[in-house]
Amino acid sequence: MHFIVVGAGSVGTLLVDIASRTRNDVVVIENDTTRANEIANKYDCLVLNDDATKEEILEEAGADRADALISTLELDATNLFVCLLATELGIPTVVSVLHQPEHRELFRKMGVNAVKSPHQLAAESLYRTARQPAIIDYMPVEGDAEVFEIDVTEQAPIAGQTLKKARSDEVIPDDVLVVAVVREDGNAPQIARPTTAIEPGDRLTVYSERGTDPAVTDIFGFFDDYR
């Protein structure tokens, strides 16, 4: 695939590293000469030391054959402008770092996929881990909804019940869905079915429309020692 990466800061450099290692054709546009030279010396990719807000620079980067453009600049306004140019040039997938959450709708209206800045994601992850250590891993979906992994404890209301019974007894609310189960024996994950019995020690993958609210996580175990 042909990727255009705009910006060679911490995020852009990581993207170049990943894309280069997976043998993609990568072009980097970086306005700062020092950063541009560092990328050119370290990676086997074309580096344009120029301004990505110029249409001719995107064309020089191969916009006509690009599969995706990823903009990682420090200002949402600049990222949005670059992404609009990329869209007008017909690049099929356009992605940007999002620094201010209130700008997400603007990016969406322009047909740009916007992803939270890694600094914000890291801060949210650290806060979540401190607040609820029982959560093994999680992924935001849309709005408050999340998919997360959690271990079932001995005291969990769901322990010893099938998913069908837990649902009928209203232990599991309608906005929560158990997706998969990993047993302590280390076998491959099982698809969670209504007849699946949940046991202490099971690691569950769960979808929750209200995220990792304690009212949700307490279904799978009581973690008072963590609060």
Please tell me the predicted confidence (pLDDT) of residue 222.
60
* Same fold flag, 2-121 and 132-226: no
Question: Which residues share a beta bridge with 190?
Answer: 181
Q: Given a cut of 50, is residue 76 above it in pLDDT?
A: yes
The residue ranges of every structural domain in the chain are 2-121, 132-226
| pLDDT-based confidence at residue 200 (cuts at 50, 70, 90) | very high
Around Cβ 193, how many Cβ atoms within 10 Å?
11
Lowest mean pLDDT among 20-24, 63-67, 152-156: 20-24
Q: Given a cut of 80, is residue 71 above it in pLDDT?
A: yes
Please tell me the predicted confidence (pLDDT) of residue 134.
67
pTM of the model: 0.64
Please tell us whether the domain made up of 132-226 is placed in CATH 3.30.70.1450.
Answer: yes
pLDDT 10s digits, 104-152: 888 988 888 888 777 777 777 776 666 666 677 777 777 778 898 999 9
Fold of 2-121: Rossmann fold (3.40.50)
